Structure 1
Amino acid sequence: MAQTPRLAVGDKAPAFSLPDADGNTVQLSDFKGRKVIVYFYPAASTPGCTKQACDFRDSLAELNEAGLDVIGISPDKPEKLAKFRDAEGLTFPLLSDPEKKVLTAWGAFGEKSMYGKTVQGVIRSTFLVDESGNIEVAQYNVKAAHTKTKIQKYIELVKP
């Protein structure tokens, strides 16, 4: 299994156009002029992904105040995302990429280690995209348990 190419600071963020939990199309270009955190997670309603999403939910007002929007992307279908959003009270877009084209373009799908085995899957990743659509922060293999700490670092990073 080959490793997918990884994005680095300064790279142009790959464009995307994906359905959200309600089937509405959301594009990265919708956020032009604002900084946006784009995070990729393996599966809605699983313990780690729920913790990560709830940490973003709980910090959303502070993130928005700092000029940061949040988008979560997984291979889940919109119907599953809608259930996840409603069950957890999530108020930021959750996007569906079942073909994994966007996940792959961002380097968030490929070879990873899981329970000591090498498998193909979603690589939990978080990116900060600047107002011009360039990667400002690229983090792969992030731990869901560390989301709160990372959020504070993003806020500190964008403060004037």
Structure 2
Amino acid sequence: MSTDSIKVGDKAPDFTLEASRGRTVSSADLSGKPYLLYFYPKADTPGCTTQACGIQEALPALGKLDLTVIGVSPDPVAKIDKFADKYGLEFPLASDPDHRLADQYGTWVEKSMYGRTYFGMERSSFLVGADGRIKALWRKVKPAEHVALVEAAAKDLHE
């Protein structure tokens, strides 16, 4: 169960998660650097693929802004690895199977489809500054619009 408790200016929650290609990602390793955490519902689905491939295409530009990108889903690492390999995704995709990090960010939410309610991941992104504080956030982001929003906000970090 989650709430929209995190807001711009808050300290980003600490985390350590297993990620694609045998990596581990952690807030401690990112200390002093800006990063984007984007939460997506399920690997290799149309919206998540559009979003991930858009980020992959934008990696050179985001890299010039010194921005590290990490995707987070409740999928197991094996499924995430297949997704990353299938689309050549170089940035880490982290596994949050118990949705502990998603709960902290308020992205594990009640959803409804065809009259049935269930809990799942809300497509949301959080831009964290080098100071470890939330600089921008987007909830219920549209996959095709995601990269443009992130690039604009990341540029603002350097002004």
Q: What TM-score results when the alignment is normalised by the length of structure 2?
A: 0.91
Contact residue 7 and residue 138 of structure 1 kept, 8 A: no
Higher mean alpha-carbon deviation, 138-147 vs 69-78, is at: 138-147
Aligned residues: 159
- 3-state SS in 1 of match to 2:29: helix
Residue of structure 2 in register with 1:68 after alignment: 67
Aligned residue type for 1:18 = L
- Percent identity (aligned): 42
Higher mean alpha-carbon deviation, 58-67 vs 139-148, is at: 139-148
The runs of at least 4 aligned residues of structure 1 exceeding 3 Å deviation read 112-119
Q: What do residues 109-146 of structure 1 show as CA deviations (whole Å, max 9, x unaligned)?
A: 11235467654211100010011211111211111121
CA shift for structure 1 position 69: 1.0
Contact residue 59 and residue 151 of structure 1 kept, 8 A: no
Residue of structure 2 in register with 1:26 after alignment: 25
CA shift for structure 1 position 67: 1.6
- Structure 2: distance between partners of 1:17 and 1:93: 12
Residue of structure 1 in register with 2:54 after alignment: 55
- Structure 2: distance between partners of 1:139 and 1:116: 26
CA shift for structure 1 position 159: 3.7
- Structure 1: distance between partners of 2:127 and 2:94: 17
The CA RMSD measured in Å over matched residues stands at 1.7
Say if 1:69 and 1:115 are closer, same or farther in 2 by CA, change over 3 A: farther
Q: What TM-score results when the alignment is normalised by the length of structure 1?
A: 0.91
Contact residue 54 and residue 144 of structure 2 kept, 8 A: no
Higher mean alpha-carbon deviation, 55-64 vs 27-36, is at: 27-36
- Structure 2: distance between partners of 1:3 and 1:26: 23
| Structure 2: gaps (5+ residues) | none
- Structure 2: distance between partners of 1:28 and 1:98: 18
